[in-house]
Structure 1
Amino acid sequence: MGDRNATLASRLARKLKLLGWTVTTAESCTGGMLTSALTDISGASTWFRQGWVTYSNEAKMKELSVAPENFKGDTVPGAVSFPVAFGMAQGAVQRSGADIGISITGIAGPGGGTDTKPVGLAFVCAYNRQADAFLVRSTKNQEGDRSTNKQLFVSLALETALNLIEGLESGHLSMDVRKDTGDDEESDSEKTIPLDAGALAAFGRVPGMEDAWFGEVRWSDEQESGVTVVEELRRKEPEDIWSEE
């Protein structure tokens, strides 16, 4: 598993260097293992910005601005959930200024699991600042020990970051979703360039990818020349997608 993570990290490093992007990490249960896999690569200082290990809920809220509503109450998502993984990745990007944020939150074991959230459950997220796009995936590995689970979670996180970047590169989601219209007012000077129908259909689960969610945080009702627009696209926030699953 360690060799696999090294290979995935190297692939991600090459992608980042080609794009001229930087990456940041936000980890919980893996305790810095993702950051270690990335910084084991020589020259990482050119594309790795910084990382957080936010093990407690308080740290997630304080350091990454994850919404407190995710943790308080009996019916909330909790630390190991879609919205917290998203909040960690987005918060890391916002705090660091990196282009890509990668997060991991899970239950490595051997204790800490419940009937609804067993040992081996994890959510990982990759978030891109330019497109305001994200990919969240989850895994339930109930056969591994603590060390194996942590390695698996890191592998999934690296794969997810690669999947997001490759999706952006392939045009599945536009990397340039903002357009200067020449308007003097800042609030109106940038309009969202809408996505094509295939990309818009990607809200919710990713076809062919189990336990994965893909979304674009912006929305548009503007008709732009030469761009396919799906009319009446309603605003869709990450928490809305989570609540529908």
Structure 2
Amino acid sequence: MNKATEALAINVGTALQHKGWMLATAESCTGGGVAQAVTDIAGSSAWFDRGFVTYSNAAKTAMLGVPAALIAQHGAVSEEVAAAMAAGAAGSSSAQVAVSTTGIAGPGGAVPGKPVGTVWFGWSVAGVVQTERVIFDGDRQAVREQAVAHALQGLLRRLA
């Protein structure tokens, strides 16, 4: 993990501890990268509850309660699914805060309107869900690293 991502994870932990809250993650394209970033921080068990890596659509439905019909209608890489993943992670855990990532890291997988690098994020904070779409540049690893950092930055903005 690079120093900037490490600093973000530390700051997220500090903000969560200040509020007495726990974090859960629901990840697809980042493959557990957000959970790894936060659990790389010593003492994170005080503020990190659990992580869900739901790479397949079936896992999103089984583990997070994302309706299969929602995925069929909007696609796994969509605002609706990112929001449902974040809400599902919060609801399936002891966390007050959850973050989700679903996207196309590449090199394949692009579809019209969803180029490689497209990532939808969902943040659930005390029951309020917000979403954001970002299109990152770079190869698969670069997209994933940028998505992890962006997920943490979004948490910090929402916990401030």
Q: Do these two structures clear the TM 0.5 threshold for a shared fold by scoring above it?
A: yes
**Quick check: which one's helix share is greater?**
2
1:134 maps to a residue whose letter is V
Question: Could you tell me how far 1:151 is from its partner in structure 2?
Answer: 0.5
2:28 is matched with which residue?
28
SS in 2 for 1:36: helix
1:156 Cα shift? 1.1
Structure 2 partner of 1:138: 133
Superposition TM-score, scaled by structure 2 size: 0.96
- Alignment correspondent of 1:78: 75
- 1:96 is paired with a residue whose SS is coil
Helix, strand or coil at the partner of 1:162: helix
| Matching residue's letter, 1:164 | R
C-alpha offsets along residues 184-207 of structure 1, whole Å, 9 cap, x if unaligned? xxxxxxxxxxxxxxxxxxxxxxxx
Q: How many residues align?
A: 160
The question of 1:91 aligning with 2:88 is answered yes
Contact 1:25 1:35 in 2 (8 A): yes
Q: Could you state the TM-score of these two structures normalised by the residue count of structure 1? A: 0.63
- Residue of structure 2 in register with 1:157 after alignment: 151
Structure with larger RCO (C-alpha < 8 A, sep 6+):
2
Alignment root-mean-square deviation, CA = 1.2
CA distance in 2, matches of 1:3, 1:121: 24
Instruction: Check the 8 A contact 1:135/1:164 in 2, yes or no.
Output: no
Q: Give the 3-state SS of the residue equivalent to 2:130 in structure 1.
A: strand
- 2:121 alignment partner, SS class: strand
2:109·2:116 contact (CA, 8 Å) conserved in 1? yes
Question: Structure 1: any 5+ residue segments left out of the alignment?
Answer: 167-245
| 1:53-202 map, 5 Å | 53-72=53-72, 76-129=73-126, 132-141=127-136, 143-166=137-160
CA distance in 2, matches of 1:149, 1:119: 9
| CA drift at 1:135 | 2.2
Q: Counterparts of 2:60 and 2:154 in 1: how far apart (Å)?
A: 21
Rg larger in 1 or in 2? 1
Look up the equivalent residue of 1:78 and give its one-letter code.
Answer: G
Tell me the CA shift for residue 87 of structure 1.
0.7
Structure 1: distance between partners of 2:82 and 2:115: 17
* Matched-pair contact (CA < 8 Å) for 2:71–2:81: no
C-alpha displacement at 1:77, in angstroms?
Answer: 1.3
Amino acid at match of 1:135: Q
Query: What does residue 50 of structure 1 align with?
Result: 50
Using the TM superposition, give the Cα deviation of residue 78 of structure 1 relative to its aligned residue in structure 2, in angstroms: 0.6
**In the alignment, is the contact (CA less than 8 A) between 1:100 and 1:128 conserved in 2?**
yes
